[in-house]
């Protein structure tokens, strides 16, 4: 019989792909992770990973073991929910939530205080970045995405919508020609996304609305775009929940240009029954509903 505890090291290395990243997550040295993986492989008599320099990817045997290891992890968490006493008086657990950058850092993060006050036993790890994380590989436990996932052992529900509109600083608008109609935008500077990293096809509307727009700054960061617009560099397409909170920004042609996007919450199927996950999903659903006006923007 192999040491069941070695499966923790196996799961983290499968998710992170590097010894150092798995070690950081587990709170041990990378040599400890390597030693425990080697011991597990020797006990099972099969190679679990393919090594390529410092990167680790699952072998065919590793892929077969992954599903069993995930079920064992899920059952262990369920045991803690049902059997172990809680000193906090509520659900206990850790949830890694992946979100688009702006949704995570500019929206959810502002409301974490209320979540923690209600659920002190739940450690919410927020990963707010452009790159999509895999729930099937357990890089994250849940994710907020802009479209409903089509594949995987996941459960999805639509949370709501949010809007994006054009914004600029009054300091910029005062120094440039007035904007009354779409054709006036040809005379202006734009802050935009990096084309080949554009996360949403609908954001290509600038090319459709204006032939050869004058884009003078590009970044994948919505926060970076908002800061550049606030500094008077040009016009940016920003989420209303970001720009409407910035007194130095004003909307530009809100009736002519507005993008409505959906927000979907997706959770790994194995984690849905747990009380701590239900607390997280309930909080997010309530938050999006209560903040609907901020998300869709001022009319």
Q: What are phi and psi of 26, to 5 degrees?
A: -85, -15
Q: Is-same-fold flag (6-82; 93-160+263-296)?
A: no
pLDDT at residue 204 is higher than 80: no
CA 127 to chain centroid: 5
The domain defined by 162-261 carries CATH number 3.40.190.10: yes
- Strands 122-128, 250-252: pairing is unpaired
Q: Which tens digit of pLDDT belongs to each residue from 258-293?
A: 888 999 999 988 888 888 888 999 899 989 988 999
Two tokens, residue 179: 């904007």
Q: Which residues pair with 161 in a beta bridge?
A: 262
For 93-160+263-296, the fitting CATH number among 3.20.20.70, 3.40.190.10, 3.40.50.620, 2.50.20.10 is 3.40.190.10
Q: How many CB atoms lie within 10 A of CB 118?
A: 12
Per residue in 52-66, pLDDT (tens digit) is: 888 899 999 998 898
Nearest to 243 by CA among 295, 174, 207, 291: 295
CATH architecture type of domain 6-82: Orthogonal Bundle (1.10)
Among 268, 295, 270, CA closest to 156: 268
* pLDDT tens by residue, 156-181: 899 999 999 999 999 999 999 999 99
Tell me the C-alpha distance between 47 and 42, whole Å: 8
For Cα atoms 160, 156, 286, give the angle at the middle one, nearest 5 degrees: 40
Q: Is the pLDDT of residue 210 over 90?
A: no
pLDDT at 200: 56
| Residue 4 contacts residue 127 (beta carbons within 8 Å) | no
What is the residue extent of each domain of the chain? 6-82, 93-160+263-296, 162-261
pTM (2 d.p.): 0.71
């Amino acid at each position: 019989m192999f040491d069941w505890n070695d499966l923790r090291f196996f799961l983290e290395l499968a998710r992170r792909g590097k010894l150092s990243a798995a070690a950081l997550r587990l709170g041990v040295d990378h040599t400890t992770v390597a030693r425990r993986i080697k011991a597990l492989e020797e006990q099972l008599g099969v190679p679990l990973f393919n090594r390529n320099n410092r990167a680790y990817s699952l072998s065919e045997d590793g892929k077969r073991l992954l599903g069993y290891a995930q079920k064992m992890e899920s059952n262990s968490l369920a045991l803690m929910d049902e059997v172990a006493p809680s000193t906090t008086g509520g659900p206990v657990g850790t949830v890694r939530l992946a979100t688009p950058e702006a949704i995570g850092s500019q929206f959810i993060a502002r409301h974490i205080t209320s979540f923690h006050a209600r659920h002190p036993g739940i450690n919410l790890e927020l990963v707010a970045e452009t790159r999509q994380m895999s729930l099937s590989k357990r890089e994250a436990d849940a994710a907020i995405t802009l479209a409903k996932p089509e594949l995987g052992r996941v459960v999805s529900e639509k949370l709501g919508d949010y809007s994006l509109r054009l914004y600029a600083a009054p300091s910029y608008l005062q120094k440039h020609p007035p904007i009354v109609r779409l054709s006036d935008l040809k005379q202006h500077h734009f802050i935009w996304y990096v084309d080949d990293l554009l996360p949403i096809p609908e954001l290509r509307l600038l090319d459709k609305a204006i032939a050869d727009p004058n884009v003078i700054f590009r970044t994948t960061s919505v926060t970076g775009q908002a800061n550049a617009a606030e500094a008077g560099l040009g016009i940016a397409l920003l989420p209303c929940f970001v720009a409407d909170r910035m007194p130095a920004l004003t909307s530009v042609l809100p009736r002519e240009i507005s993008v409505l996007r959906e927000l979907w919450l997706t959770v790994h199927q194995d984690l849905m029954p747990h009380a701590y996950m239900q607390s997280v999903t309930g909080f997010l659903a309530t938050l999006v509903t209560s903040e609907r006006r901020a998300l869709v923007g001022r009319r």
